[in-house]
C-alpha cells in the first residue's frame, strides 16, 4: 500500500526546525498544514508543551492537535510512570474530546491511514533517542515515515524501535 499523501516538501518554520528534540512540534506543524489549520510556530510549540529537557509527550501532542479542531484518537500501552505533564494531559484528554485507546498493531494502524486520516508514531531511533514521525503508508517491507532518515524504515526496524525499552507503543490517528 502506497498512499499519495503529499506531506513534503514543506518549509518548516525556523522556530520549530531549530528546536532541540523538536520532532513533536514539526509533526504537529505538518499535520496542521495538511488539514489546512492555521497556527503560528510559537503557538504550536506551546500547545505541544515542548521542552528542551523532555521534548514532546505524545498525549500532549494529541491534545495540541485537538485544540486546533482536529479529530484525535490516542493509542497507548499503560504508562506506569507518567511525567506530571502527561498526568495532566491524560486527565484532560476525555473532556477535550481525545479518544483514549489501548495500543494497536502496525497492521491495524496502516489499515486506517488514508488521505483523510494520518498517523503519528513514537519510536526509538538507532541512537536511543525517542522520535515522533508521521506514518503515511507501507511500501514493500518498508514503512513510509517522512521524518525518518531516508523517509522509510523497514517494518522489522520500526517494530524494534516501537517496542524499545523506555518507549511506550504509542500512536495518534488524526482526521479533520
Q: Is 98 within 8 Å of 66 (Cβ atoms)?
A: yes
What tens digit of pLDDT does each residue of 23-71 get?
Answer: 999 999 999 999 999 999 999 999 999 999 999 999 999 999 999 999 9
Residue with grid cell 488514508, as numbered in its chain: 114
Average pLDDT over residues 110-135: 91
What tens digit of pLDDT does each residue of 138-160 get?
Answer: 888 899 888 777 888 999 999 99
Average pLDDT over residues 102-118: 92
How far is Cα 125 from Cα 112, in angstroms, rounded to an integer? 24
Q: Is 140 within 8 Å of 130 (Cβ atoms)?
A: no
- The proportion of the chain whose per-residue pLDDT surpasses 90, expressed as a percent, equals 70
Task: Check residue 6 and give its pLDDT.
Answer: 57
How far is Cα 80 from Cα 100, in angstroms, rounded to an integer? 16
Strands 152-154 and 137-139: unpaired
Rg (CA), the chain: 15
Q: What Cα–Cα distance (Å) separates residue 114 from each residue in 11, 35, 47, 64, 170?
A: 23, 13, 25, 21, 19
Amino acid at each position: 500500500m502506497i498512499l499519495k499523501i503529499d506531506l513534503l516538501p514543506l518549509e518548516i518554520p525556523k522556530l520549530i526546525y531549530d528546536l532541540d528534540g523538536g520532532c513533536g512540534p514539526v509533526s504537529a506543524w505538518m499535520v496542521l498544514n495538511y488539514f489546512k489549520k492555521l497556527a503560528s510556530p510559537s503557538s504550536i510549540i506551546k500547545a505541544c508543551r515542548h521542552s528542551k529537557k523532555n521534548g514532546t509527550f505524545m498525549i500532549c501532542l494529541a491534545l495540541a492537535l485537538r485544540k486546533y479542531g482536529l479529530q484525535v484518537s490516542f493509542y497507548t500501552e499503560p504508562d506506569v510512570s507518567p511525567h506530571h505533564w502527561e498526568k495532566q494531559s491524560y486527565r484532560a484528554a476525555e473532556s477535550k474530546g481525545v479518544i483514549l485507546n489501548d495500543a494497536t498493531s502496525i497492521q491495524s494502524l496502516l489499515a486506517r491511514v488514508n488521505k483523510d486520516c494520518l498517523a503519528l508514531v513514537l519510536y526509538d531511533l538507532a541512537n536511543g533517542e525517542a522520535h515522533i514521525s508521521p506514518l503515511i503508508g507501507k511500501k514493500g517491507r518498508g514503512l513510509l515515515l517522512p521524518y525518518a532518515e531516508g523517509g522509510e524504515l523497514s517494518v522489522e526496524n520500526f517494530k524494534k524501535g516501537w517496542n524499545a525499552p523506555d518507549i511506550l507503543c504509542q500512536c495518534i490517528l488524526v482526521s479533520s
